[in-house]
Amino acid sequence: MIDNLSVLFCCTTVIWVVVRLVMLERVRKRKAAPRPGEGGR
């Protein structure tokens, strides 16, 4: 029961983080001007 809760936490949080990361990166790509310091050379 407790182990199931731990696995559920681990997997759902990873799913949530990955989805959020993908969303934020897409928003970033849409913005014409990148934030200072990021990805610039």
Partner 1 sequence: MLRGLLVLFVYILISAYGFGMPHLFALAYIWTDLFRPQGVAQAIISGLPLSMIFGVAAIGAWFFCKDKPRRVTFGTGVMIVWTIWMTISTYNAVVQDAAWAKWDWAFKSAVFAVLLPYYFNTREQIESALLMVLIPIGANIIAVGIKTLMGGGGYGMDMAVSGNGISESSTLAMVATSVIPLFLWVRNYSLLVSPAWLRQVMALSLVALALVAALGTFARTGLVSVALLLVIGFFRTRRKIAYVCVVLFLLSGVSGFMGDAWTERMGTLQTAGSEASAMGRVAAWLWTLDYVKEHPFGGGFNVYFINYFSLPMTDGTILEVKGKAFHSIYFEVLGELGIPGLVMFLSMIGWSITTLLSIRRFAKRHAELGWMGDMATGLVCSTFIYMLGGAFVGVAFQPYFWYLFGIGISLKHYADRLRKQPEYAPTKTGFE
Among the listed residues 2, 30, 32, 33, the single contact to partner 1 using CB under 8 A: 2
Residue 30 Cβ, how far from partner 1 at the closest point, in Å?
Answer: 14
Question: What span, in angstroms and rounded, lies between the C-alpha atoms of 14 and 9?
Answer: 8
Touching partner 1, residues 14-33 (CB under 8 A): 14-22, 24-25, 28
Among the listed residues 31, 32, 33, 39, the single contact to partner 1 using CB under 8 A: 39
Q: Euclidean distance between the first and final Cα of the chain, in Å?
A: 51
Residues at the interface with partner 1 (CB under 8 A): 2-22, 24-25, 28, 35-41
